[in-house]
Amino acid sequence: AKYKGKNRYEIYHRHLGIAVKEELQIKQALYYALENEEFVLFYQPQVCENDSTVIGYEALLRWSHPEYGLLTPDKFIEIAENSGFIIPMGEWVLKESCRQLKEWQEFYGRHELKVSVNLSAQQFKDRYLDDKILMAVEEAGLTPKHLVIEITESMVLEDFKGSVKVLDSLRKRGVEVHLDDFGTGYSSLNYLSKLPVDTIKIDKSFVWNIGKTEQDGAIVRAIIAMAENLGMKVIAEGVESKEQLEYLKQTGCHLYQGFYYSKPAPPVGVVVY
Ligand code: C2E
Ligand code: CA
Ligand code: CA
Ligand code: CA
């Protein structure tokens, strides 16, 4: 999506194979899709290797488009962010993921299961964010400790003090905070030590290079050691192979997510163990 002048977006969407000229048109298409229940959540398990149990699921958004089929977020998230649609869409993600988690908790008798939801930069700036989060949790019959929010470093850097305040308030109520894509941004150790997060997610790019370059192994080891010293947990994302898993285990990582365990799947295909 290219920004072209005042309030005009000229978007040629290669993936969708359509050219859309007006921001309003795109916005309307997205609202229609939400109304029409074309958005679905896929879930990917997060696994604790110590006792080989699923501890929770990351909710990952999909657009089940009547013409173009199942679309991943890279095809529409940017448009949603630029048009403001990300706010109602994000609210839907929160509500639906909480509803689904409650259903699984009851069905499997596993009330410790959690659900992780990705927040966008726009949502994070929303002054009603904590109200919306707590309402979604409450409406579903859950408590805040069942919800994890995933944020990125770039989201907090713009207004670090304000972000710390928001995160502190959410964590005080029991919401867990995970720092996504760690290592890909402008990580400053100084910032990290002051950031109220429970868990760091090592970006998949580092995991994929395990065994390929000496440096990436060193980075993974350094991240894990640092997190430990700061009292944070670590989730390795994008784990695809036994080799990667073994390496990560040796370095002291305990929590994993990736195709090795399961691809993101619709609710009926989700694994619980
Ligand atoms: P992310 O939060 O970093 O999510 C992880 C991405 O890696 C997902 O892509 C997931 O399908 C993929 N993945 C997980 N394990 C593996 C693996 O072992 N191998 C490979 N090749 N890929 C793996 P997905 O579902 O396409 O989502 C892309 C991004 O879209 C997410 O990156 C997240 O930033 C964003 N996103 C997804 N759902 C939402 C949402 O509800 N709200 C917002 N604001 N953003 C979302
Ligand atoms: Ca994520
Ligand atoms: Ca990630
Ligand atoms: Ca991401």
Produce one character per residue of 108-119: b if its CB has 16 or more CB atoms within 10 Å, e if not.
Answer: eeeeebbbbbbb
* Confidence (pTM): 0.92
Identity of the amino acid at 268: V
Distance 257 CA to ligand 3 centre (A): 10
Per the CB < 8 A criterion, the answer to whether 55 and 41 are in contact is: no
Strands (E), 1-110: 2-3, 9-13, 18-20, 39-48, 53-65, 69-71
**Token match 């988690």: residue?**
101
Per residue in 92-149, pLDDT tens?
Answer: 999 999 999 999 999 999 999 999 999 999 999 999 999 999 999 999 999 999 999 9
Average pLDDT over the chain reads 90
- 76 Cα distance to chain centroid: 15
- Give the per-residue pLDDT at 270: 87
Structure tokens at 56: 């929770």
Distance 247 CA to ligand 4 centre (A): 23
Structure tokens at 35: 């109304």
Distance 46 CA to ligand 3 centre (A): 12
Task: Reply yes or no on whether the pLDDT at 9 is more than 50.
Answer: no
Alpha-carbon distance of 226 to 217, in angstroms, equals 14
Alpha-carbon distance of 270 to 124, in angstroms, equals 28
Alpha-carbon distance of 208 to 212, in angstroms, equals 8
SS3 state at 186: coil
Distance 116 CA to ligand 4 centre (A): 13
**ipTM topping 0.90:** yes
Residue nearest atom 16 of ligand 1, based on CA coordinates = 238
Per residue in 13-66, pLDDT tens?
Answer: 555 555 555 567 777 889 999 999 999 999 999 999 888 899 999 999 999 999
Task: Reply yes or no on whether the pLDDT at 178 is more than 60.
Answer: yes
* Residue of 32, 138, 159, 128 lying closest to 85 (CA atoms): 32
Alpha-carbon distance of 199 to 177, in angstroms, equals 7
Alpha-carbon distance of 113 to 45, in angstroms, equals 10
User: What's the whole-number mean pLDDT along residues 237-245?
Assistant: 96
What is the H or E stretch that residue 130 is in? helix 129-139
Q: Which ligand is nearest to the CA of 150?
A: 2
Pocket of ligand 1 (CB under 6 A): 44, 60-61, 72-73, 77, 93, 118-120, 150, 180-181, 237-240, 257-259, 264
- 162 Cα distance to chain centroid: 21
**Which one is predicted more confidently, 76 or 41?**
41
User: What's the whole-number mean pLDDT along residues 247-269?
Assistant: 94
